Every structure is written in structure tokens, then in C-alpha cells.
Chain A
């Protein structure tokens, strides 16, 4: 019968754990995340140059285009391979949000459109929306309070 205890084992397990390569992950995330942003910038310029968009209005079509590209890459099974390499680099930009929604939709297609796709599509991305909206609300509240108090 094994005689080790939780503390001793935790120590042993920590010694043998394979550490996440933090520096390498950061560099990769920076490079891939930067590349995605660069592509986004090129798309923005494209819309501004060829269509009637301004710097203020070009955000929406650019985001939509990036999400469309993500959708294709997710459907073809490429995006998760990029993500294993890039980590946060492909998770933080809007493409990561798109991938979370699209992958859930694909995954739950077998359970039907309503209870499957519809109910599970925002399984992962739902909390991004919830806490995004909530933190925007809190910030707006603080800003309004500060304006009314005459601080800013």
C-alpha cells in the first residue's frame, strides 16, 4: 500500500511536471496575434480605399471579414492547429471569439438546430459577451459619476 501523503506527492508531482514554455508562448502569441491584426489593418485599408468607408465606420466590415475567414479556417479544421501554435495570439483577437462560436455550432450540429446549434453556439463565447457588456456598463457608470462630480 502506498505510504506517500498529499504534501509529499504534490512536491514530487511539481518536480516532474512539464512546464509550459512561457517565453516561447509569449513570442508566438505576439507574432501570430500581430499578424492577425496586420491582416485586419490591410482589410481596413482595402475597404477605405475601394469602398465608401471612413476610419470610424470601417471597423464593422473588417470584423465581419475576419470572422468570415475564421469560419472557413475553423470549418476546414485549420484554426485549432494555428491555435495550438499561437495560444493567446489566436484567442484574443476577434477571430478567437469567432472560432469559439463557430466550433461550438459545428460540434452541436448533431443535436439539431434549436437544441443543438442554437442552444450551444454561445457556450464558450457567452461569458465574453456577458462580462464584456457588464464591464462596459460599470465603466460607463464610473465615467458618468466622474463627469457629474466635475472631476473630468
Chain B
């Protein structure tokens, strides 16, 4: 049901019954390694190209998610996902493999939250029994798409971010056990004239702030309603900017109540500049760690705010500023 200007409230309890994650070799050395279901040793993942390796990650993650739910591909009604590679071939080709009816979604790195909100909407309106949604990214495929060749020696500034290899999927169902999706807010595209593609955090922070403000306003909630706000890939700079922006709007978000997925995947010594990023960044953290914490009641209510920078290499070269978006999804532990 729509509430306020741009939000949904889900009264029929869409449940996240299963979630699984995959990662690459660099993620295997990170903080989350023990929580990731499948880690690849090699960036090529036995595929001839990085794009196909990207596709392999999606296939692995969806397969694991379905297996964990004790279901078959046939039982899943819809598949909602997307990625950042040309014409979204990794996701489109993965959808060719498992043949689940498919909706491709592009909101850059906010695809994860957008997909989750849509999945919850479908389940809440009883338009399906099981929907699988999530997103994955692949470092080398994304670098090739947006930046320089992977082996090219260009020095990155400290504000740059590191695209995550990996990600995760979840199944949202009408019945079962698991955390419940209660609310969502669909973001609008913002542009505060940021144009540095090596400082995505600064570009995306206003979108996160705007969506959080709209979410609280639409649902008439205070920020304290949530135990934790989980942002996707704001990184160190974006995270600080988000806190500042909210402070200016009289919302006091404590540092310990805001966790950024991009800052939670790698260890300090892995030198990922300002933090992790990518479509798989939020899902890798959410479905490896947060869902488990909700399941064993370490957390009760969280708000996922995934942000996306809607630029292309072409728009950057043509000197356009970076439009950004953020979607928010509230997830609560069952029986709350």
C-alpha cells in the first residue's frame, strides 16, 4: 500500500526465506570471508572473459539461494536483478540459464534495494509465491566498463573506491521463516552537480539523505525506530557527508547506528581507498551478515539504503554531472 509521497508499507509480511552470497579472491581475504557462502579463488572463475565470470557469479549466487530455500528454479515466480555492464549482459545471460521469468532493473548500485522493494511489493500483493532478487558485481568487468584496462597503471586518488567482486541474492516469499520486509521508499534522482567519477561517495550522499528523509516523513517515523541504517557503497567520504547532511535537517544519526557495506567487507590493510562499491557491495554485506544478525535477533529493525550513481563513461567524458539515486527498504526480524 502506498503511504506518503513515495513509500510503500507491506502489511502481508513478505518474508526473506533464503539468502546466499558469493565472492572473489580479494573478498576471500576480507572481513566477511567466513560469512560468504562461496568464494572463488580466481578472478576468471574458469570463464574465458571477465564478463562471463560476472555471469558465473550471478548463476552461482542464484543457484545457492534457491538450494538453501529447498526450492527448484521452477518454483520461483520472478527474477529481478541487474548489473552495470553493457546492456546488462551478465544478468540477462544468467537469466537465460535458469529461465525464471525475468525483469531486468538498472539503478546502478541501488539495484539491490530497488529489486528488493519490488519483490516485496509483488509478494505483498499476492502476485507470486517466491521472488528471487539481488545483484552482483565483478571488479575487473566493471573497471573495464567504467575506467581503464585492468592492468593499466593509473594512480587512483584516496577518494576512489574498489568495486566488489561478488554479491548475493535472496528469495522473498509469502510464507516461511526469516526476516520480514515491512516498508520501502523509492528514491528520486538527485543531482547536486558533483562530477568527479573518482569520488562517488560525495555524489551519492545527497541521494541517501533525501531518501532517508522521505522515508521517515512518509512513514512518520523517527530515525531511532531503526537499530541500524545500512548504506550500500557510500565509503568513508559519503558516510561522513550523509551524517552532516542529516544533521542539517535536524536528524541526529549516531555514527554507531550507521554502517556502510563498502566499509565492512575489506580489512584495513587491503587498501581499497575510500571503501568498496558496486552493485554487489550492498548485497554481499546484507545477505552475508545482516540477514544472519536479523535471524538470530542480534538486530531487530534495519533500514537498507542502497545508493547508485547513474553515470556512464560517455556522460563523464561529455562533462555531465553525476545523477544519483537511493532506495530504502526496512527489514525486521520475525515476530517483532
Bound-state CA distance A106–B140 (Å) is 12
Nearest CB in chain B: distance from A125 CB, A: 10
Q: Is B269 an interface residue (CB 8 A)?
A: no
Q: Scoring B residues 132 to 156 as 1 if CB is less than 8 Å from chain A, else 0, what string do you get?
A: 0000000000001000111111111
Q: Is B67 an interface residue (CB 8 A)?
A: no
Tally of contacts, chain A with chain B, CB under 8 A: 113
B157 touches A20 (CB 8 A): yes
Bound-state CA distance A74–B153 (Å) is 9
Chain B residue with Cβ nearest A120: B149
Q: Scoring A residues 76 to 90 as 1 if CB is less than 8 Å from chain B, else 0, what string do you get?
A: 010110111011101
Chain B residue with Cβ nearest A2: B210
* Interface hub of B48, B206, B214 (most chain A Cβ within 10 A): B206
A4-B245, A12-B245 known; A96 vs B194 contact (CB < 8 Å): no
Bound-state CA distance A1–B215 (Å) is 9
Please tell me the number of chain A residues within 8 Å of chain B, measured between CB atoms: 41
Q: Scoring B residues 223 to 259 as 1 if CB is less than 8 Å from chain A, else 0, what string do you get?
A: 0000000000000110011001100110000000000
A4 touches B149 (CB 8 A): no
**Please, which residues of chain B bring their CB within 8 A of the CB of A91?**
153-155
Bound-state CA distance A10–B245 (Å) is 12
A2-B249, A102-B151, A104-B149 known; A16 vs B244 contact (CB < 8 Å): yes
Please tell me the number of chain B residues within 8 Å of chain A, measured between CB atoms: 39
B151 touches A80 (CB 8 A): yes
A13-B194, A20-B157 known; A110 vs B206 contact (CB < 8 Å): no
B155 touches A87 (CB 8 A): yes
**Please, which residues of chain A bring their CB within 8 A of the CB of B274?**
18
13 pairs, A vs B, C-beta closer than 8 Å:
A1-B217, A2-B190, A2-B209, A10-B193, A16-B237, A16-B244, A18-B236, A20-B157, A87-B155, A99-B151, A103-B148, A106-B151, A110-B50
Knowing that A1-B213, A80-B154 touch, tell me 8 more A-B residue pairs with CB under 8 angstroms.
A1-B217, A13-B205, A16-B202, A17-B159, A83-B154, A91-B153, A110-B50, A124-B152
